[in-house]
């Protein structure tokens, strides 16, 4: 006998034993989440801005989470359609829309980058104009890592507002823009949600998923992508890191970037 297994049949087989028992709670979640959708009759429109030199996980981690929202559309956007390369130059992600083709989004996400990419984005008038234009109609405007600096350069993060960013850029965010740096995984200030460095975009995206579709759906997405981090080292908190480890971290980043 020939057995043809697909991802759907494998996953469905594993989940079948619990589906019946979970049915009542799923129905309740669907009822609650119907009122949480940001658009009538369909899911949220999420746009992720790409620019030369972004850090790979900044856009792709949130895309993995947010694309699982019921009815959601997640679109990569750049100045021009086509591949946009990361800070290492080794990987490119395809932008399906140009900034000229996008007017309305429910969620805008601006990723971070290394020095070259961040400075380039902060000085790119077309990108900053796009961010300001789209932000007028978003339900949430978000950033990951040094994307907070880009939001500040666009005038969305201003003096006195609370935000987070990559730990090594916190001083610059405060001194250059007067933004109050908060050392948390994500920080919400009105409709602006900023995430700390790179991996923190996953945490922020799960919070955002809960805001858009309710806690139960967000928890289901977390389980669906099996996000249960247990790193082999306790070295990810900059406030607990030695000066030597911080220097090493920054050197590794600099040497890996083009």
Which residues does the annotation mark as catalytic? 145
Phi, psi of 224 (to 5 degrees): -60, -40
Vertex 61: Cα angle to 227 and 234 (nearest 5): 55
Strand residue runs (E) in 54-119: 73-78, 82-85, 92-95, 97-98, 107-110
Task: Report residue 251 as tokens.
Answer: 């050197």
DSSP at 69: S
Find, among 183, 180, 168, 172, the residue nearest to 150 by Cα: 172
Q: How far apart are CA 183 and CA 204, in angstroms?
A: 14
Q: How far apart are CA 62 and CA 53, in angstroms?
A: 17
Largest pairwise CA distance in the chain: 69
Task: Report residue 46 as tokens.
Answer: 């999420």
DSSP at 242: -
Bridge partners of residue 78, in order along the sequence:
98
């Amino acid at each position: 006998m020939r057995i043809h297994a697909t991802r759907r049949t494998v996953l469905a087989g594993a989940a079948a034993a619990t589906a019946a028992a979970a049915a009542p709670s799923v129905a309740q979640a669907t009822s609650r989440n119907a009122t949480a959708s940001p658009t009538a009759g369909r899911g949220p429109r999420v746009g992720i801005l790409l620019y030369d030199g972004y850090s790979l996980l900044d856009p792709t981690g949130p895309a993995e989470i947010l694309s699982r929202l019921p009815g959601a559309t997640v679109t990569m956007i750049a100045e021009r359609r086509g591949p946009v390369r990361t800070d290492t130059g080794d990987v490119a992600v395809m932008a399906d829309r140009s900034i000229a083709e996008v007017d309305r989004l429910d969620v805008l996400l601006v990723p971070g980058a290394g020095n070259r990419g961040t400075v380039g984005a902060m000085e790119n008038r077309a990108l900053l104009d796009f961010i300001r234009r789209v932000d007028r109609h978003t339900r949430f405007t978000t950033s990951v890592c040094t994307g907070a600096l880009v939001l500040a350069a666009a005038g969305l993060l201003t003096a006195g507002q609370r935000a987070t960013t990559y730990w090594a850029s916190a001083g610059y965010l405060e001194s250059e823009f007067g933004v109050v740096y908060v050392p948390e995984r994500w920080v919400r200030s009105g409709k602006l949600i900023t995430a700390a460095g790179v991996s923190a975009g996953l945490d922020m995206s799960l919070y955002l998923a809960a805001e858009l579709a309710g806690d139960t759906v967000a928890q289901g997405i977390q389980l669906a992508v099996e996000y249960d981090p247990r790193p082999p080292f306790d070295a990810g908190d900059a406030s607990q890191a030695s000066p030597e480890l911080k220097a090493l971290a920054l050197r590794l980043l600099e040497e890996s970037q083009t």
